[in-house]
C-alpha cells in the first residue's frame, strides 16, 4: 500500500513583525538577528486569533487549491500544536466542527516535530484500515508564549499553520521511510511549562519559552544529519536521488551547517526561516508548501522532511512526490494561492 500527501495548504497571519520593530524594545538590531538566525521577519496572530483559527485558514487554503471535495472521506483530523486552544484536543475538534466533519479528531503534542510525527500517525491509521484519509495540520501561536523581553528567544518565533491530506497514492509514490527519536535528558535546553513547575530532573520552568541556544544548535545539527542519513538508508535510495531537503525552519545557520555535512547543494534545500521565523509544528508544512508554490516540487521527486524540537525530539520522513490534486482529481505539482 502506497500512502502519500495529495493536498497542501498554508496560512500566515497578516501582521508581519520585522526585525527593525524589535530594535525598539530589545537590545538587538536587524543585522545582528540576520547574522545569528537568518530571520528578517515573523508573522503574528491577531488578538483573539487562536491556533484553531490559523488551522482553519490553512485548511481553507487547501480547499481553494484542490477543490471543495478534498475533505470527503477524511476519517481523522490531527492537529500538531504546542499552543492548543485548550487542554483535551480542542484544537482539532474546532477544525473538524468548522468543516462539518464527523471524523475523529485529536491534538498531537511533539513540539516542532509534531507535523512530521502526524504524517507517520496518519499512515498508521490508513495502513490499519481505520481511515481512508487523514487531515494533518500544524498550527501555532507561539507569540503567546514568547518572552518578548528576552532577546535570545523573542527574535526566533512566529505564528502560522500548514495542512495536508494523507491518503493512498499510486504505486511507487508516497512515503518510503520514516525515523524518529528522543533525548529526554535534553528537555532542560528547550521548554515551556504547562502545568508542572519543574522538569523531572528538577529544572525549574516558566510559562514562557526558555532555551539554551548553544545546546539546541548542537543538538539540531547533529540530529538533522543523523536522522536524514538513517531515513535515506532505510529507504534504499541514493543521496543523488534526493531532489529536496525540507528541514524544520528554526535557524538558517543550523540548516546551513547540516547541509554542508550532508553534502547537498544549496539549491536542494528549502529555506523559508527568513520570512516566517520558527513556526514550530507548522514549520515543515509551510516550507513544503512554499516549495510547491515556487515550482520546486515535481512528480517523482524524492523529498526529505526533517524536524527537531523540544523534548528533545526529532522526526524525519522521505517520500516520492506524487503531486497534489486539483478539483478534477488530476495530480499537479504547482498550485497558486
Whole-number Å distance between alpha carbons of 163 and 62: 7
Q: What percent of the chain has pLDDT over 90?
A: 70
Cα 200 off chain centre by: 27
Neighbours of 206 (CB within 10 A): 13
Using the predicted structure, report yes or no on whether residue 231 has a pLDDT greater than 50: yes
Find the mean pLDDT for residues 157-168: 97
**Which residues are part of the catalytic machinery?**
112, 248, 278
Taking phi first (over 0 means left), then psi (-120 to 50 degrees means alpha), and beta for anything else, what does residue 85 get?
Answer: alpha
pLDDT beyond 70 at 202: no
**Residue pointed to by grid coordinates 539540531:** 220
Whether the pLDDT of residue 171 is over 90: the answer is yes
Q: Got the DSSP string for 241-284?
A: GEEEEEE--S-HHHHHHHHHHHT--GGGB---HHHH-B-GGGHH
- How many C-beta neighbours within 10 Å does residue 214 have? 9
Q: Quick check: 119 and 89 in contact, CB under 8 A?
A: no
Q: What pLDDT score does 182 carry?
A: 78
Bridge partners (DSSP) of residue 41 are 18
What are 245-270's pLDDT values in tens digits?
999 999 999 999 999 999 999 999 99
pTM: 0.90
Q: What is the pLDDT of residue 157?
A: 92
> How far, in Å, are 1, 67, 109, 192, 220 from residue 196 at the CA level?
42, 44, 16, 10, 25
**What pLDDT score does 207 carry?**
57
Q: Has residue 289 got a pLDDT over 90?
A: yes
Q: Which domains does the chain have, with CATH numbers?
A: 3-168 (3.40.47.10), 175-332 (3.40.47.10)
Which grid coordinates belong to 336?
A: 497558486
Q: Which of 84-88, 149-153, 235-239 has the highest mean pLDDT?
A: 235-239
Amino acid at each position: 500500500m502506497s500512502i502519500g500527501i495529495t493536498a497542501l495548504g498554508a496560512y500566515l497571519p497578516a501582521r508581519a513583525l520585522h526585525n527593525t520593530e524589535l530594535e525598539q524594545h530589545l537590545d538587538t538590531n536587524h543585522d545582528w538577528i540576520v547574522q545569528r538566525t537568518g530571520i528578517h521577519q515573523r508573522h503574528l496572530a491577531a488578538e483573539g486569533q487562536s491556533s484553531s483559527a490559523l488551522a482553519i485558514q490553512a485548511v481553507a487554503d487547501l480547499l481553494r487549491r484542490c477543490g471543495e471535495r478534498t475533505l470527503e472521506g477524511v476519517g481523522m483530523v490531527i492537529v500538531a500544536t504546542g499552543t492548543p486552544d485548550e487542554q483535551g484536543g480542542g484544537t482539532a475538534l474546532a477544525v473538524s466542527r468548522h468543516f462539518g466533519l464527523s471524523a475523529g479528531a485529536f491534538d498531537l503534542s511533539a513540539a516542532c516535530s509534531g507535523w512530521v510525527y502526524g504524517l507517520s500517525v496518519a499512515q498508521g491509521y490508513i495502513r490499519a484500515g481505520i481511515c481512508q484519509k487523514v487531515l494533518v495540520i500544524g498550527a501555532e501561536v507561539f507569540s503567546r508564549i514568547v518572552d518578548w523581553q528576552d532577546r535570545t528567544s523573542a527574535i526566533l518565533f512566529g505564528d502560522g499553520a500548514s495542512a495536508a491530506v494523507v491518503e493512498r497514492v499510486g504505486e511507487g509514490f508516497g512515503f518510503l521511510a520514516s525515523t524518529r527519536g528522543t533525548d529526554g535528558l535534553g528537555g532542560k535546553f528547550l521548554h515551556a511549562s504547562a502545568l508542572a513547575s519543574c522538569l523531572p530532573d528538577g529544572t525549574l520552568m516558566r510559562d514562557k519559552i526558555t532555551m539554551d541556544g548553544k545546546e539546541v544548535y548542537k543538538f539540531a545539527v547533529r540530529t538533522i544529519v543523523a536522522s536524514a542519513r538513517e531515513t535515506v538508508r532505510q529507504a534504499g535510495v541514493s543521496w543523488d536521488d534526493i531532489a529536496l531537503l525540507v528541514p524544520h525552519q528554526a535557524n538558517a545557520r543550523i540548516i546551513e551547517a547540516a547541509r554542508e555535512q550532508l553534502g547537498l547543494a544549496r539549491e536542494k534545500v528549502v529555506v523559508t526561516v527568513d520570512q516566517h521565523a520558527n513556526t514550530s509544528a507548522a514549520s515543515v508544512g509551510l516550507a513544503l508548501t512554499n516549495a510547491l508554490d515556487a515550482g520546486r516540487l515535481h512528480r517523482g521527486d524524492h523529498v526529505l522532511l526533517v524536524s527537531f524540537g523540544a523534548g528533545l525530539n526529532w522526526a524525519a520522513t522521505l517520500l516520492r512526490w506524487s503531486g497534489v490534486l486539483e478539483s478534477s482529481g488530476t495530480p499537479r505539482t504547482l498550485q497558486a494561492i
